[in-house]
Amino acid sequence: MLDIQLNGTPAELHSWRAKNAKKIPLLEELRRHHMVDGHTHAAVTFWGLLNVRGDRTALLLTHVERVFRALRKFYPDHPTESLTIDELAKRVRLSQKETSNAAGFLSLSPVYLSITSHEETTRITPNEQYVTLKGFNDLKERTRELFRRPMEPQIFPANELAVERELLRALDIAESDVVRDAWRKVQHRTRQDPEGAITAARSLVEAGCKYVLEEFEDAAETGLELPRLYRRAAGHLHLDSQTEIDESLRKVLGACATVVDGVAHLRNRLSDAHGKDRRSAKPAKRHAEFVVLIAAAMTGLLLSTLDAQRTL
């Protein structure tokens, strides 16, 4: 699987399972231990890479570290900006393919990394976790702490309300790869990493808003704050002016974006408090679940509304 991933696209799960039926239990065990991730494609995670031995793996880790250091240096002066894969490759003095592979492992690590493609241009967007960690060794240690235990059951029970199932299903089957990837990361982090889940929840809403804007060919400017991004997406879907929607409901929908954005900024301050003393504030799992539920419901509503308007 690692070889397939490094040669281009991670293994497509349906095809791989059909050709490797006897290895399916092993795949599920690797997934349960956080070493492989993905719903449509099976990608080796950063934790999985740390557990592979060999010269090739050692070289890959040096590439990942170089990309991590470059993004750590880039973020403080450009917290709302992104880099093209070409720009990043020049900074780390690697080929575009090597840079893309290294970035892929960081996107499947506790620090996460937004990788988006538009009109044949791939853009890399880091987050505050690249500066709150002490360095690459700290990332490896945090990865070990978070993923050394097998995966727990999903936070969303099988007997959830029908309305919840419908909204969450919109995320599972979203046409946007970015939205599905963000949703997968939200679920993954909520189980083990409350702080990372809060950041991932914000990224989920942002991905949903941007997808709606793309569908309406509305190019939002770089660095647009989430509440404004949401209002633009909601405007296209008539969630802000449709007469059939009660005014109070419109206020709730608009406030949700502000809540998610505010909690994401609060998470930055909580991260800055790390290491000060034992009483330093940290988000609990219940806080993460609260933010995730809001983010998932909001994004599911945007996608469901978009789909409903297509059928009119």
pLDDT digits (tens, 9 = 90+) for 271-280: 444 444 445 5
Q: In terms of Cα–Cα distance, which of 89, 97, 43, 96 is closest to 66?
A: 89
Say how far apart CA 70 and CA 66 lie, in whole Å.
Answer: 6
| Residue 119 banded pLDDT, cuts 50, 70, 90 | low
Contact 299, 180 (CB under 8 A): no
Contact status, residue 89 vs residue 99, Cβ threshold 8 Å: yes
pLDDT over 90 at 89, yes or no? yes
- What pTM, to 2 d.p., does this model score? 0.57
Residue 113 has pLDDT above 80, yes or no: yes
Identify the structural domains of the chain with CATH numbers, from first to last. Answer: 2-132 (1.10.10.10), 155-310 (1.20.120.330)
Higher pLDDT, 81 or 31: 81
Rg (CA), the chain: 20
Q: Does residue 186 surpass a pLDDT of 70?
A: yes
- pLDDT beyond 80 at 291: yes
Q: Quick one: tokens of 229?
A: 């991004």
